[in-house]
Amino acid sequence: MGRSTKVSGGSVPKQAAQRQQNIASYLYGVVPADLKLASDDRGLGDPPGEVQLVRHGEVAALVSDVNVDQPLGRPGDLLAYERLLDSVAAKGPVLPFRFGAVLASPEAIVEELLTPFHDEFLGALQDLEGQAEYIVKGRYVESALMREILAENPEAAGLREAIRGQAEDVTRNERIRLGELIAAAIEAKRDLDTRTLLDALSSHYSTAMIRPPSHEQDAVHVAMLARTGGQRALEKALGELGETWDGRVSLRLLGPLAPYDFVIAQEPGV
């Protein structure tokens, strides 16, 4: 089957040299060529850039014009990047590019990216078909966490009682030791609770990645690649686990999202 190169979503000059010198193509990701963009899909920039599909064969690059004279990373740029990719991920597979990927023109995207890596992109998209990333975050309820630690660790309980009502400068060493015990206990609990979560949800995801805690009282922080069609079942299973952890851990599920933790493409030369 022959491959064609087509740019949709707006008119693009035939020659890159005809483009304004300060305008380039911001690259969000690679998607199937038959993807249908929503009418309200917008990219980063002020005003938000019009999103286009640069098609080649069975894949397409998700792009918008960007002014290279304006620095990336301004407030709202990363949010716009994620908002677009997550919107696309809810409709079909997407291979996100690292934030900040810029090529000279749509023609350069076809020549340097889509043509040489067409088959690799297509294979990766086929592997992701019907799947998206979901993130499970859980945070300990502080009062319940402290009760557990003090009940399980006599040394910590004794130190807690020893410093009660005492000045900080007088009990400095005891406070330092208590802090060390609490930190170690939280880390051990986090490891155990993460394994419990992964086991409880094992039939609802194809692969998972443990993320670093974003807060000292994080109980679980896990990214999962799961079928979008099974989201309700995943939510139900997580809800059942949440019932067993009621009053101890507060859980929430984020997604569907683009598979940032599992597939990150890079522009040529990066």
**DSSP-derived secondary structure for 167-216:** -TTTTHHHHHHHHHHHHHHHHHHHHHHHHHHHHHTGGG-SEEEEPPPSST
Q: Tell me what percent of the residues of the chain surpass a pLDDT of 90.
A: 70
pLDDT in tens, 70-110: 777 777 888 999 999 999 999 999 999 988 888 888 999 99
Tokens in use for 232? 């309700």
pLDDT band of residue 264 (cuts 50, 70, 90) is: low
pLDDT band of residue 249 (cuts 50, 70, 90) is: very high
CATH 3.30.70 assigned to 132-257: yes
Flag whether pLDDT at 203 surpasses 90.
Answer: yes
CA 188 to chain centre: 25
pLDDT band of residue 9 (cuts 50, 70, 90) is: very low
Which pLDDT score, from 0 to 100, does residue 47 have? 82
- Residue 167 burial (10 A CB sphere; 0-12, 13-18, 19+): exposed
Which pLDDT score, from 0 to 100, does residue 268 have? 53
Which pLDDT score, from 0 to 100, does residue 208 have? 97
- Whole-model pTM: value is 0.83
Which pLDDT score, from 0 to 100, does residue 265 have? 61
Average pLDDT over residues 28-41: 92
- Please say whether the beta carbons of 9 and 52 come within 8 A: yes
List the chain domain ranges.
Answer: 5-129, 132-257
- One-letter amino acid of 76: G
